[in-house]
């Protein structure tokens, strides 16, 4: 039947082709017309799906707490006014060589973002600020709205959780069990939107992304809400982490260092969740180990190596060291996933690698040694 249908279609195209056009040109024209129609339908379906999700979000919030309304206090109002007067702009931040790091992503000596806690305090104060922000210039309006909508919904959910714990209102979170699809779909939409922005060649280092990431990390680190998210969205979050690591490694723009700090900041925040931290440590151990082996091989045969990737490996080393330190500093340290095969692979022949690379690559050798020390100290503890 399929062969007959293809043959009938071919005859129809041949008989109906206009004069002056070959069968190939006419077929390509028809294929383009049909694909444009399909694209139009897909756009309409995406809009309708977004509207359905928004209605489901409102319904879920009303079921959990019918009288909930997010209010902004005086400090929030001041913050919004300041942000609207002096918005963060990509061009103003990256007008220099890219080596300067703004206060929003200032790292201390161990590579930890110093504004993590401050950003989390501002999560519940960004609703009206997000509404005032125009769509990001690097993406279309629908993409901007698709990122803002789940952020606002999850902020509402976190605020209900916060107020219910303080006894300000009563909320029934058992509804999340019956409608986990809505919250998981919202998280997926947020992760997809962040992925698009992080993969953009004109990565916008702004408070907008900081707040979106803080909302996501606040949700997955909440002891009650995270149970409905992490397990069902684990694969999505895993792909998100892998994508961020690859963005760091393959970024070769001149003004990339501030963007790399921002992405590192995001990975450190994601690593505050125990489940995500273990898998993230495994990913980082694997990437750094593979790069060290490739660098050693290139050094031994005096071959060329990618200097850009060499520069980009250091943020991964800083993230890994910080996550390992956070793991060892916790009182309830348990056996982690990364303490298996990947840890053995990383520590195997590490001393020989450091010995051979220490003269030519002293800084990278130092970072490898620091990571090995933290790994061994965790094992001793």
First to last CA, the chain: 69
Tell me, yes or no, whether 62 lies in a domain.
no
The pLDDT, as a whole number, for residue 205 is 65
- Is the backbone of residue 323 left (phi > 0), alpha (psi -120 to 50) or beta? alpha
The pLDDT, as a whole number, for residue 178 is 73
- Which helix (H) or strand (E) segment holds residue 185: the answer is helix 180-198
319-355 per-position pLDDT tens digit: 999 998 887 766 444 445 455 778 888 888 889 999 9
The pLDDT, as a whole number, for residue 239 is 92
The pLDDT, as a whole number, for residue 381 is 55
C-beta separation of 308 from 255 below 8 A: no
Do 249 and 285 belong together in one domain?
Answer: no
288 vs 290: CA distance, rounded Å: 6
Give me the residue label for tokens 């490898």: 368
Do 246 and 289 belong together in one domain?
Answer: no
Do 222 and 312 belong together in one domain?
Answer: no
Tell me, yes or no, whether 223 lies in a domain.
yes
Tell me, yes or no, whether 364 lies in a domain.
yes
Do 288 and 208 belong together in one domain?
Answer: no
Do 207 and 279 belong together in one domain?
Answer: no
The pLDDT, as a whole number, for residue 105 is 41
| Domain end call among 224, 255, 286 | 255
Six token digits for residue 60 = 């879920």
C-beta separation of 215 from 154 below 8 A: yes
The pLDDT, as a whole number, for residue 146 is 59
The pLDDT, as a whole number, for residue 199 is 84
The domain total for the chain is 2
Tell me, yes or no, whether 287 lies in a domain.
yes
Do 164 and 228 belong together in one domain?
Answer: yes
Do 249 and 159 belong together in one domain?
Answer: yes
Do 217 and 288 belong together in one domain?
Answer: no
Do 227 and 304 belong together in one domain?
Answer: no
Tell me, yes or no, whether 73 lies in a domain.
no
Encode burial over 148-165: b for 16+ CB neighbours within 10 A, e otherwise.
Answer: bbbbbbbbbbbbbbebbe
Do 323 and 375 belong together in one domain?
Answer: yes
CA 68 to chain centre: 29
C-beta separation of 244 from 266 below 8 A: yes
* Low-confidence residues in the chain, pLDDT < 50: 70-144, 331-335, 337
The pLDDT, as a whole number, for residue 292 is 93
Do 234 and 278 belong together in one domain?
Answer: no
Tell me, yes or no, whether 163 lies in a domain.
yes
| Domain end call among 222, 255, 288 | 255
Six token digits for residue 9 = 């279609």
What's the domain range around 174?
Answer: 148-255
Do 279 and 216 belong together in one domain?
Answer: no
DSSP-derived 3-state class of residue 52: helix
The pLDDT, as a whole number, for residue 225 is 76
The pLDDT, as a whole number, for residue 338 is 55
- Is 0.75 surpassed by the pTM of this model? no
| Domain end call among 255, 285, 319 | 255
């Amino acid at each position: 039947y399929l062969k007959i249908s293809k043959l009938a279609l071919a005859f129809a195209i041949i008989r109906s082709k206009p004069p002056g056009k070959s069968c190939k040109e006419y077929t390509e024209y028809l294929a383009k017309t049909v694909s444009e129609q399909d694209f139009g339908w897909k756009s309409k379906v995406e809009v309708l799906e977004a509207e359905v999700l928004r209605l489901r979000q409102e319904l879920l919030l009303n079921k959990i707490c019918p009288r909930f309304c997010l209010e902004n206090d005086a400090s929030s109002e001041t913050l919004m006014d300041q942000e609207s007067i002096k918005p963060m702009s990509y061009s103003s931040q990256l007008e220099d060589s890219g080596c300067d790091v703004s206060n929003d992503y200032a790292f201390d000596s161990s590579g930890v973002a110093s504004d993590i806690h401050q950003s989390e305090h501002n999560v519940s104060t960004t609703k009206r600020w997000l509404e005032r922000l125009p769509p990001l210039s690097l993406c279309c309006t629908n993409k901007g709205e698709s990122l803002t909508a789940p952020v606002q919904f999850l902020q509402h959910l976190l605020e209900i959780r916060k107020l219910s714990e303080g006894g300000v209102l009563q909320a029934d979170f058992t509804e999340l069990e019956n409608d986990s699809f809505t919250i998981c779909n919202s998280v997926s939409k947020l992760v997809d939107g962040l992925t698009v922005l992080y993969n953009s060649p004109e990565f916008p280092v702004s408070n907008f992304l900081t707040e979106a990431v803080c909302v996501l990390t606040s949700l997955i680190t909440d002891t009650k809400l995270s149970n409905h998210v992490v397990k069902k969205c684990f694969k999505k979050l895993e792909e998100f982490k892998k994508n961020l690591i690859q963005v760091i490694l393959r970024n070769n723009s001149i003004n990339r260092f501030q963007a790399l700090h921002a992405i590192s900041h995001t990975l450190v925040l994601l690593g505050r969740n125990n489940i995500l931290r273990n898998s993230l440590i495994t990913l980082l151990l694997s990437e750094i180990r593979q790069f060290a082996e490739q660098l050693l091989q290139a050094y031994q045969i005096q071959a060329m190596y990618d200097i850009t990737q060499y520069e980009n490996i250091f943020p991964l080393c800083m993230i890994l060291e910080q996550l390992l330190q956070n793991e060892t500093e916790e009182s309830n340290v348990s056996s982690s996933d990364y303490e298996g095969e990947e840890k053995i692979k990383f520590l195997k022949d590490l001393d020989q690698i450091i010995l051979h690379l220490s003269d030519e690559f002293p800084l990278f050798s130092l970072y490898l040694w620091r990571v090995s020390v933290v790994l061994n100290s965790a094992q001793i503890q």
